[in-house]
């Protein structure tokens, strides 16, 4: 059914870069056999899922949205992918994304943009716009995203779906094509809170193959999603995230949602996190620095594309030609920014300062969580904007990440939950909830209360 739905709708939406028809049908048939034999592998056995193309799946084309990886079939599966397979999920295919997850609109994909199913002239968010669009278009009931600065939450918000960024280290990065290793976090996406929690439970948990993986029990996310009782919960509204510069329709939905939580028995407190205003600047130093180093591995020798290899040119010339042809503008921009920020003489002024700001932001979270259980804000300052509107203005594009980035810099858990549509334009609005590290269950409690 889902493969048919993809065939009917994906020409207009372009959520998928690769549909693995044979693999999906084989996995579905195997799940059917298990069901007949009463050997089910759990609640998600046989359920179809869309996988963001930044996670490797053995033998299946994986590009991370980049031309430089065109034609590459990874010889191994990411831990997240393997856990999906082991739980019996049926992977329908790989979803479109901004190149190497850099972007907020999926327009930086090397393979053309994805369209928002609510309005095909609008962006589906990014970088995981393909996964979110696949959910909103009912091409798949579940999807996997990755969140480095908001790439699960912001696409969720602008497509009216649920997206959770687990605690950093709560899900494994093994087999995830790295953007910024100290921020990257795979996570679950779905149309309902309970589905998201069930998927969270499958993919989370310690992985010895990831040095930053947390060796602790997975928070009780499914129980929280089933419960949804916010009575007595202390909810902190972040003063610095909201108000001026936010679309009126987004702001009023946010205020209504906070009032709803209060009426359900939560205690609402205004909280100040003064250093959050520096988060965007720190992120756009830390991220380019890390990605310029991570992307050095695309040297035309190891994977995918190779340009100008005529037996005469030197390896360095081939590498330069390949990187020139294979990387898009945004990727090049960030490599240049990152190498500059890391260069001798500037390191302390840029990268060093950004790391200090990161500590200040973490301190803001720690202080806030002394008095409240969760923090809340709009997920993004606006609803989905027009395709093409911000492609030539990187700063306007970066501003979209204002509310989502603090959680990544501090490594805490955060999720976006749909709370209806904006009175301005009838497009979906997301409500962001942030919880301490390894208290991801609180996100689901609030999400379930709102559903």
Q: Smallest distance, Å, CB 301 to ligand GLN?
A: 26
Residue 314 bears catalytic tag? no
Site for ligand GLN in 118-137 (CB under 6 A): 127
Query: Rounded distance, CA 417 to CA 433, Å?
Result: 8
The yes or no reply on residue 103 touching ligand GLN (CB under 6 A) is yes
Q: How far is CA 44 from CA 78, 156, 196, 206, 348, in A?
A: 19, 21, 11, 20, 48
**Which one of 105, 127, 416, 422 is the catalytic residue?**
127
Nearer to ligand GLN, 77 or 131 (CB): 131
Between 139 and 151, CB nearer to ligand GLN: 151
148 binds ligand GLN, rule: CB under 6 A: yes
**Does position 401 bind ligand GLN by CB under 6 A?**
yes
Nearest residue to ligand GLN by CB is 151
Closer residue to ligand GLN in complex, CB, 287/443 = 287
User: Residue 102, interface with ligand GLN (CB under 6 A)?
Assistant: yes
Query: Does position 49 bind ligand GLN by CB under 6 A?
Result: no
The single residue among 287, 374, 412, 446 that binds ligand GLN, judged by CB under 6 A, is 287
Tell me, yes or no, if 253 is annotated catalytic: no
| Number of residues lying near ligand GLN (CB under 6 A) | 13
Q: Does 151 interact with ligand GLN (rule: CB under 6 A)?
A: yes
To ligand GLN, the closest distance from the beta carbon of 396 in angstroms equals 12
Tell me if residue 151 is catalytic. Answer: yes
Residue whose CB is less far from ligand GLN, 179 or 437: 179
Binding residues for ligand GLN, rule: CB under 6 A, are 101-104, 127, 147-151, 179, 287, 401
Residues designated catalytic: 52, 127, 151
């Amino acid at each position: 059914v889902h493969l048919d739905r993809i065939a009917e709708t994906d020409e207009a939406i372009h959520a998928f870069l690769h549909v693995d028809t044979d693999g999906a049908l084989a996995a579905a048939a195997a799940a059917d056999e298990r069901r007949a034999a009463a050997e089910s592998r759990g609640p998600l056995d046989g359920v179809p899922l869309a996988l963001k193309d930044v996670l490797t799946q053995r033998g299946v084309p994986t590009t991370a949205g980049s031309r430089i990886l065109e034609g590459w079939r990874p010889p191994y599966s990411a831990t997240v992918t393997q856990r999906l397979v082991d739980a019996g999920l049926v992977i329908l295919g790989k979803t479109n994304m901004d190149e190497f997850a850099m972007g907020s609109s999926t327009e930086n994909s090397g393979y053309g943009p994805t369209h928002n199913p609510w309005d095909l002239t609008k962006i589906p968010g990014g970088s995981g716009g393909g996964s979110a669009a696949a959910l909103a278009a009912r091409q798949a009931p579940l999807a996997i995203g990755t969140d480095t600065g908001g790439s699960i939450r912001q696409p969720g918000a602008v497509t009216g779906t649920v997206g959770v960024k687990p605690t950093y280290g709560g899900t494994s990065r093994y087999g995830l094509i790295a953007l910024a290793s100290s921020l990257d976090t795979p996570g679950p996406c779905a149309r309902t809170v309970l589905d998201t929690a069930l998927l969270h439970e499958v993919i989370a948990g310690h992985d010895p193959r990831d040095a930053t993986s947390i060796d602790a029990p997975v928070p009780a996310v499914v129980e929280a999603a089933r419960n949804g009782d916010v009575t007595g919960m202390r909810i902190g509204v972040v003063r610095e995230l909201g108000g001026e510069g936010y679309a009126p329709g987004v702001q009023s939905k946010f205020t209504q949602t906070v009032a709803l939580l209060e009426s359900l028995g939560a205690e609402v407190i205004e909280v100040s996190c003064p250093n959050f205003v520096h988060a965007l600047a720190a992120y756009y130093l830390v991220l380019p620095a890390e990605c310029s180093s991570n992307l050095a591995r695309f040297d035309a020798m190891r994977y995918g594309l190779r340009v100008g290899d005529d037996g005469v040119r030197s390896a360095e010339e081939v590498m330069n030609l390949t990187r020139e042809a294979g990387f898009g503008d945004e990727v090049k921009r960030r490599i240049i920014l990152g190498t500059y920020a890391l260069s001798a003489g500037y390191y302390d002024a840029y990268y060093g300062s950004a790391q200090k700001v990161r500590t200040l932001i973490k301190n803001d979270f720690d202080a806030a969580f002394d008095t409240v259980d969760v923090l809340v804000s709009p997920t993004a300052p606006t609803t989905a904007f027009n395709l093409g509107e911000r492609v030539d203005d990187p700063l306007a594009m970066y501003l979209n990440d204002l509310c989502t980035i603090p959680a990544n810099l501090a490594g805490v858990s955060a999720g976006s939950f749909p709370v209806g549509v904006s009175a301005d334009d009838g497009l979906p609005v997301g409500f962001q909830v942030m919880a301490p590290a390894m208290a991801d269950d609180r996100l689901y409690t609030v999400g379930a209360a709102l559903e």
